[in-house]
Amino acid sequence: LIKEAKKLYIEVEKDVDLKYDEVYCVFDRDDHLNIPAAFDMARKNDFTVIFSNPCFELWLLLHFEDQKSYIDRKKVKSLLNKHFKAVYKKEYDKSKDIYDDLKYNQVTAIQRAKELHKLHLANLKQETENPSTNVDVLLEALDKIANYFY
């Protein structure tokens, strides 16, 4: 992912009229083995990593509940599905656009993600520990851009 982002970045930089102010690489832990190398490569290229552990769905789960202890992907998806059935009367489907379903709880999810950052720092652990996500960083950056233009 980081290599592909760098390739695209270099391609765009060739165009005098196109420039990137920032590059964000979004990925999750899943079963990937080269996470430290990906972080290192991103840092060397001045890219911002948006990372979720154990999976991206943790970010979605934070729209419904706190999650401050270790959790595996299967449990995250099970809890997310439970909430979707209770609130929206449908199962969670990662291939569907669910922004409209979740946007009203976005502020809550951001607060919960920030609490996870604080929790890990207070326990002298890395912010990438399970459970963790910094999708909130990306959303706040996008909100700043949106507010600038609107």
Q: What is the pLDDT of residues 83-135, one digit of tens each?
A: 999 999 999 999 889 999 999 999 999 999 999 999 988 888 877 899 999 99
Q: Is pLDDT above 80 for 31?
A: no
The pTM score is 0.88
Residue 89's SS3 state is coil
Residue 15 pLDDT level (bands cut at 50, 70, 90): confident
| Residue 135 CA neighbour count, 13 Å, CB half | 24
Q: Is pLDDT above 80 for 41?
A: yes
- Residue 88, CA distances (Å) to 11, 82, 93, 101, 102 in order: 42, 10, 12, 8, 10
Domain count, the chain: 1
Residue 96 lies in domain: 2-149
Q: Which residue has the tokens 């899943």?
A: 30
Q: Is pLDDT above 80 for 25?
A: yes
The per-residue pLDDT for 75 is 98
> Can you read off the two tokens belonging to residue 107?
């502020």
The per-residue pLDDT for 21 is 84
In whole angstroms, what separates CA 111 from the centre of its chain? Answer: 14
Give the whole-angstrom CA distance, residue 44 versus residue 119: 27
Instruction: Compute the average pLDDT of residues 12-25.
Output: 82
Give the whole-angstrom CA distance, residue 93 versus residue 6: 30
Peptide bond into 54 cis (omega under 30): yes
In whole angstroms, what separates CA 100 from the centre of its chain? Answer: 18
Note the maximum CA span of the chain.
Answer: 51
How many angstroms separate the first and last alpha carbons of the chain? 31
The per-residue pLDDT for 26 is 94
